[in-house]
Each structure stands twice: as C-alpha cells, then as structure tokens.
Structure 1
C-alpha cells in the first residue's frame, strides 16, 4: 500500500469569513499525478493556498507531507514549504538576477550554505528540466516556456515530496504547454507526487490521470469520460 501524501477529512476552506469550499474528503497517495480542475473562481487557488499554509485550516482535519494542517504554526510554514515544490502560473522569478542566482537565492533562504553543493544542486535541477545551458541568462531573456521550466527546476531544489503546480501552463501557448507538461510527466515518473490545478482540458485529454474538480463549493473526483 502506497503512503498517503495528502489526506483531508471534512475540510472547509475560508477566505476571511467567506466559505469557499466545504466537506472536502480526499486522499493523494505517493507517486500519483492528480489534476485539480474547475472554473475561475471555483476555489482552486484557495484550495492550493490551504495546502501550502497560506490559508489556515479552521474546519476538518488535514495532513500533508507529515504536517498536521490543523495545528500548523506560523514558524512551521517554512519547513512545510521545503517539503513542497510550488509552481505558480506567473513564474515568480526575480528579474534582477540570473537564473543561477535565482536558484541560489532559494537554496540560501532554505538553509543551504556550501557553495559547491549549491552549484551541484542547481546544475542537477536545471538538467532535469532541459535548461542546463541557460543558468547565466536573466529571466527576461527567456521565453515563457523556458521561464516556467526554471520555475519547475526551482520547485525541485529541496527534493519535495509533493509538487503543487497552480495553473503552470496558464500563460503559455498550446505547444509550450505540452512541453512543460512533458517535463512534469518525467518528474512524476521518477516517483514524485504532483497536484496540478489547470483549466486546460486539452492537456487532461492528452495525459489522462486522476482528476479532482472544484464545483459548487465541493471538491470531488471525476471520471475521465465525463470531462
């Protein structure tokens, strides 16, 4: 039996006083690739924020990568995020420094100190996303697809147990989306768990996998044929 990476029971998600999602019961097991779909405003981003500690868990119980979301303290959040790789739609790269320095900044911020180990890690993650030769470039010198690959590389720096990708292809054209998707598929094939929020149904049809849907304040699993 594969272990559970994410387990939620009767969870409600609030933005301030507003109830966004309720009665969420779900489990994601180690090594799964799971889509999270739903219309804009259906609660996908709020759901993601709950998972990486940006919104508190007020109702229900939840565990993610060995952290209890109900008892999560402010000081625990950086440690939780080290076990999660988070990929955003808008890349969130620092524009004033090269790709290598972007990645080094994250390593230093998460406690790395040894220069040679940092260099080796940066080379390793850039290799995984096919960007080994681009480390000296600045973000504005890269295409959107290349920037998103760098964002995925950044998410891999601390060997996360779970990657949360929030609309990672949202700003990309269809061809580039497929390229980024292939990178995520390769990462998943190495045994890493990925939860990806998307509204790109073409990708889901091309790469079918377990799919959760946000709709009517609920999150539930959908059968592929119904998409």
Structure 2
C-alpha cells in the first residue's frame, strides 16, 4: 500500500477572515506527481501556504508528512519545513552570497553541524539538478532557469518527503520551463512526491499527471482527456 503524504478532510482555507477555499477533501500518495491549477486569485497560493504552515488551518483536518496541521503550533513550523522542500516562483536566493553559501546557509539553519557532510550534500543536490559546476557563482550571474534549478537543489537538501513547487516555471520562458520540468520529473521518478501549482497548461499537456483544480472556492481532481 502506498503511504499517504498529504490528507485533507473538510478543510476550509482563510486569508484573515476571508474564506478562500471551502470543503477540501483530498489525498496525495507517496511518489505521486500532482498539479494544482486554477486562475490567478483562485486560491492556489493560499492552499500552498496552508500546507507549509504560513496560514493556520482553522477548519477541517489535515495531515502532511505525518504532521497534524490542525494541532501544529508555531514552534513546530521549522520542523514541518524540514520535511518539505519548497520551491518558489521568484527563486528566493540570497543575492549577497554564492550558490554554495546559499545552500550552506540552509543546512546550518536546519541544524547541520559537520562541514564535510554539508559540502558533500551540497555537491550531491547540485549534481541532481545539473548545476555541479556553478556553486562558486552568485545568483545574479545565473540565468532564471539556472536560478530555479538552484532553488530546486535547495529544496532537496533535507531529503524532503514532499516538494511543494509554487509556480516554479512562472518567471521562465517556454524552453527553460521544459528544462526545469524535466529536472522535477527526474526527481519524481527517483521517488520524491511533488505538488506543483502552475498555470502553464502546455507543460501539463506535455507531462500529463494527476491534476487538482482550484475553482469556485473548491479544490477537486480533474480527469484529463486524451488530446
């Protein structure tokens, strides 16, 4: 039996007092690649923020990587985020330090101590995204696609059980989007579970997979028709 990585039951998502999404029940299994689609403003980001603890879960029940979102407290959020890999649309790399030092910063912040092990881990994740030779560069010396690969490498540092990718190709041209998508596909084939919010329908057609849609305050699975 596949392990459940994410399970939500009767969940409502709020931004302050505004109800954004209502009555969500869904399940994501270990090893799945799942898209989250929907128009701008349909609640995709709010949904993602609820999953990584930026928005509190007020209604319904939710379990993600064996953590109860309903009973989770502020002090538990760093622990949750160590079990998740988060990839943002705008990369969120620290501009004042090299790629290696960006990754080192994350490892230190998440409790790593042994410098040799840290260096080995950094080399390993850069290799996975095809960026092994770029560690000495600064973010501004890299293209958008390269920066996003680094962001994916960063998300892999703590061997996450689930990667949340929020519009990871949103700032990239179509060719670069495909390259970044191939990296994510390879990571998924190696056994990682990925939930990717996107409005890039060309990618979904090219790499069809389970798809959830935010629409009309709901999140539901869409059955893809063969094109």
Identify the TM-score tier after normalising by the shorter chain: over 0.9
- Does residue 192 (structure 1) correspond to residue 210 (structure 2)? The answer is no
Equivalent position SS for 1:225 = coil
| 1:34 match: secondary structure | strand
Segments ≥4 residues shifted beyond 2 Å: none
- Offset, 1:136: 0.1
Matched residue of 2:146: which SS?
helix
1:206 aligns to 2:203 (yes or no)? no
Partner of 1:32: 32
Residue 9 of structure 1 is matched in structure 2 by 9
The corresponding residue for 1:145 is 145
Q: Deviation string for 1:170-199 (max 9, x for gaps)?
A: 000000000000000000001100000000
Q: Deviations over 1:70-93 (max 9, x none)?
A: 001000000000000000000000
Alignment RMSD, CA only?
0.9
Give the whole-Å Cα distance in 1 for the aligned partners of 2:72 and 2:205: 36
How far apart are the structure 2 equivalents of 1:70 and 1:173? Answer: 38
Q: 1:145 to 1:67 in 2, by over 3 A?
A: same
Give the SS at the match of 1:180.
helix
Question: Which structure 2 residues correspond to residues 80-159 of structure 1 after superposition, within 5 A?
Answer: 80-159=80-159
Aligned length: 227
Shift of 1:226: 8.6
- Partner of 1:224, secondary structure, is coil
Structure 1: 5+ residue runs without aligned partners? none
After TM superposition, give the deviation of residue 225 of structure 1 in Å. 1.8
Distance between the aligned counterparts of 2:226 and 2:66, measured in 1? Answer: 33
Q: Deviations over 1:56-83 (max 9, x none)?
A: 0000000000000000100000000000
Q: TM-score, normalised by structure 1?
A: 0.99
Q: Which runs of 5+ in 2 are unaligned?
A: none
Question: 1: distance between equivalents of 2:96 and 2:59?
Answer: 41
